[in-house]
Amino acid sequence: MNITFYGQNSLSIEIGGQHIIVDPFITGNDLSKDKVDIMSLKADYILLTHAHQDHILDAEAIAKNTGATIVSNYEIANHYEEKGFDVHPMNHGGSWDFEFGKVKYVNAIHTSSFPDGSYGGQPGGFVIEGEHKTIYIAGDTALTMDMKLIPMSATLDLAILPIGDNFTMGIDDAIIASNFVECDKILGVHYDTFGYIEIDHDEAKRKFYEAGKDLMLLDIGESISL
């Protein structure tokens, strides 16, 4: 499994030759718009955690360009199906075996309106299993006791957690979240994109290190392999 970071919660995940784009927000992100050409991104699937602009902005352009199937909650899937896109609707607690592996849509504590204010269902995260690796993408969320459910059915190799605070968990709660999901290897996301969520990278890494955990903060376009 290969994971590339494109800023905010935007990721590309390659599993067994299939490409999954998560929460594409690139053309509207000053940190990534000049570094990533969305038309060069490969996508068989686009996974959307919720309907906020900083998670869906480039989904339509990438889906049009690639023919990718959009996977999200029922309301978001319906929204894109009405626009003519291929979709796969899910809802909380449900799993599905895709070509690349298994995806479970799990709880998140956040909101999920579309940019025009219309209803975007309830927000979620994803647990993805493929190539004998399992990752948790929390999406935008507060720290929640529901995270304790995840290790009851999955042994995580990586937890992708928001750490920017204000709109989501901050660093201290993300450390607790990593305890809840029983994973000490964390990829931090959802920071630095706007003034509200700027963080001190050294302090963030130090706090995780002191808690016995490894926080990775990737540059835009940087990849890790599991």
- Asked if 54 touches Mn ion (CB under 5 A), the answer is yes
Segment contacting Mn ion by CB under 5 A, of 38-46, 49-57, 141-149, 194-202: 49-57
Query: Which long-range CB contacts under 8 A does 78-84 form with residues at least 24 apart?
Result: 79/51, 79/114, 79/118, 79/120
If you ran DSSP here, which 8-state letter would residue 222 be given?
-
Reading the block at residue 99, the tokens are 């070509």
Q: Residue written as tokens 């995260």?
A: 125
- Asked if 129 touches Mn ion (CB under 5 A), the answer is no
Give the shortest CB-219-to-Mn ion separation in angstroms. 20
Give the shortest CB-133-to-Mn ion separation in angstroms. 25
- Asked if 165 touches Ni ion (CB under 5 A), the answer is no
For Mn ion, the closer of residues 66 and 193 by Cβ is: 193
Query: What's the angle, vertex CA 153, arms to CA 56 and CA 160, rounded to 5?
Result: 35
Give the shortest CB-11-to-Mn ion separation in angstroms. 13
How far, in Å, CA of 39 to CA of 64, rounded?
10
**164-223 binders of Mn ion (CB under 5 A):** none
- Asked if 140 touches Ni ion (CB under 5 A), the answer is yes
Crossing angle of helices 171-180 and 201-210, rounded to 10°: 40
- Asked if 52 touches Ni ion (CB under 5 A), the answer is yes
- Asked if 140 touches Mn ion (CB under 5 A), the answer is yes
How far, in Å, CA of 25 to CA of 76, rounded?
16
Residue 173 contact partner, candidates Mn ion, Ni ion, none, CB within 5 to 8 A by sort of partner: none
**75-104 binders of Mn ion (CB under 5 A):** none
Instruction: Give the contacts of 203 (CB within 8 A, at least 6 positions apart).
Output: 171
Give the shortest CB-206-to-Ni ion separation in angstroms. 27
Q: Which residues bind Mn ion (CB under 5 A)?
A: 54, 140
Q: Which residues bind Ni ion (CB under 5 A)?
A: 52, 140
